Copies of this chain bind each other. A is one copy, B any other.
Amino acid sequence: MRSNFISDNAAAMAPEALEALVRANTGFAKSYGADEVTARAADEVRKRFDADAEVRFVFNGTAANAIALGMLARPFEAVLAYDEAHIRTDESGAPGLFGHGVGLIGLPGLSGKIDEAALEARLAEDEVGYRQPPAALSLTQATEYGAVYTVDELRRLIEPAKARGLKVHLDGARLANAAAAGFDLLEVPRLGVDVCVLGGAKAGGLCVEALVMFDHALAKRVDNRLKQSGQLASKARFLAAPLLGLLETGAWEGHAAHANLMAQRLAAAQPFPVTHPVEANMVFLAMDDAQLACVNAAGWSCYRFDDGSVRFVCSWQTTEGAVDELADALRAAA
């Protein structure tokens, strides 16, 4: 079966990532992140936010997000997140491990965006000793359902949370797609985000995400934290290099723009009802089991998501030809 659309992590490294990796492979270098490639990649990340942030590179979003939550909430506290946020559903309990039992409280909403009223209602609840009180708010941009929060929408969630003393985490596994969709990354620190995870893998890199700590106090002894968490790379230059390649060439945004465009093209060319706004690189379609089986039978690997829709994800590597082939198969299945 063809894995083209099953996830953006089914794609290979983009050329800019691979080239930077190959370029980094010369001679000896200091390990554990003291090398020059890592320093340059961190600079590139800071440039995106125009902020004096502490930046570290880790192997994946599972660790990056779980470790971030462990910075923002203690084990007997909780994190507020969308009901079907990746950290709640798809990490096999990583936040619980790295957060030592930290609670994850789900909030409803549409297309991955937390409902403002639901957040405010939860924030207004009294604290009691026998329930983990919320200490942080976790947001995903672009959302797990391919929507992109506007700056105003984010502000209306972050402001009441910060007013209550909560810290804010932004899961940016697909932050490149959000940026390509017009979301201004400079707003991230301005909005009061404390820790942001900037995605590399889904953007065409190798296994890497940047952990961006705008609040320097959170970064105290972060290397010890990462080492204990199995996320301090010895040959760190190779972790940073592919992301550096994407960032310094602008391919990080460029490829994401292409992926977003392919999602638009797919959504437009196929017959099923689209169940979520196509604002980033994903298309969710309503189909029944027979139709899904038909698409699978045509050779396309895809599956039902938590909301019942069938998800298709585009990446830097998605071609117009593949989109058109898939659209044909979808039309045949409809």
* Residues in chain A within 8 A of chain B (CB atoms): 2-4, 6-7, 9-13, 18, 21-22, 24-32, 58-60, 62-63, 66-67, 74-78, 89-103, 127, 129-133, 201, 206-207, 221, 223-235, 238-239, 317
Contact = CB atoms under 8 A, between A and B. Distances in A.
Copies of this subunit: 4
A276 B3 CA distance: 50
B7 A18 contact: no
A225 B96 contact: no
B9 A235 contact: yes
B101 A93 contact: yes
A131 B87 CA distance: 11
B77 A97 contact: no
Nearest to A78: B93
A127 B207 CA distance: 24
Contacts of A76: 92-93, 97, 221, 224-225, 227-229
Given A10-B31, A13-B238, A74-B221, 5 more contacts: A12-B28, A18-B22, A59-B207, A129-B226, A130-B224
Nearest to A9: B234
For the complex of A and B, the 6 pairs showing the least CB-CB separation, nearest first, are A96-B101, A63-B230, A129-B223, A92-B227, A9-B234, A97-B101
Contact of A28 (B11, B32, B94): B11
30 contacts: A3-B29, A6-B31, A10-B30, A12-B235, A32-B129, A58-B230, A59-B230, A60-B230, A60-B233, A67-B230, A75-B93, A76-B221, A76-B228, A91-B228, A92-B129, A93-B102, A94-B228, A97-B97, A97-B98, A101-B228, A127-B221, A129-B227, A130-B224, A132-B224, A132-B228, A133-B221, A201-B234, A201-B235, A206-B235, A230-B231
B28 A4 contact: yes
A316 to B, nearest CB: 12
A94 B227 contact: yes
A94 B60 contact: no
Contacts of A101: 93-97, 99-101, 228
A12 B235 CA distance: 8
A32 B9 CA distance: 9
A244 to B, nearest CB: 15
Contacts of A224: 76-77, 92-93, 129-133
Given A4-B28, A28-B2, A130 B91 contact: yes
